[in-house]
């Protein structure tokens, strides 16, 4: 057996084994992520937040991909009723957190970010930060996808026990 923490075959098997409970959590997690990332960045229009720079076309698919992948990663923390007992390794949790945080910076207004404004100023935020945001969105999606792959792979991996 391979020592790799990721396997497309095992991840697919884990998804096929999900019950209604896991898919419900994935849907609710995706919806929650879309609201938690989309509302403050005003990609999801709301009366509480605004932005100085209009939402770009790619912000919508970036938010959708982030939401779906985050929903999947969050669901891997839900214990299945018939889960086998024993030690289980869960890889990828940190990747998911970093990927989710990056998505916030990726779809956010470039001049609304106080840290970016402090470091680069308004013109620097538009000239340097804004062109980097699509790249951040891709990196974010890649990290979330890797986290999902690793966590799903570990759900169907057979635990190896130490022999005496």
Distances (CA, A) of 63 to 56, 94, 97, 119, 124: 11, 19, 15, 26, 24
pLDDT score recorded for residue 78: 81
Q: Please write the tens of the pLDDT for every residue from 4-49.
A: 667 889 999 999 999 999 999 999 999 999 999 999 999 999 999 9
DSSP state of 127: I
Task: Give the global pTM.
Answer: 0.83
């Amino acid at each position: 057996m391979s020592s790799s923490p990721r396997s497309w075959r095992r991840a697919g098997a884990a998804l096929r084994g999900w019950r209604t409970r896991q898919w419900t959590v994935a849907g609710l997690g995706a919806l929650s992520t879309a609201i938690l990332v989309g509302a403050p960045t005003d990609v999801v229009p709301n009366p509480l937040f605004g932005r100085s720079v209009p939402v770009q076309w790619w912000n919508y698919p970036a938010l959708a991909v982030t939401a779906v992948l985050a929903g999947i990663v969050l669901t891997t923390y839900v214990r299945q009723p018939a889960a086998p007992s024993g030690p289980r390794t869960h890889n990828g949790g940190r990747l998911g957190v970093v990927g989710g945080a990056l998505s916030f910076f990726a779809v956010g207004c470039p001049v609304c970010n106080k840290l970016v404004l402090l470091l680069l100023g308004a013109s620097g935020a538009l000239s340097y930060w804004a062109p980097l945001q699509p790249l951040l969105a891709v990196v974010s999606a890649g990290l979330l996808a890797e986290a999902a792959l690793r966590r799903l792979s570990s759900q169907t991996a057979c635990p190896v026990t130490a022999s005496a």
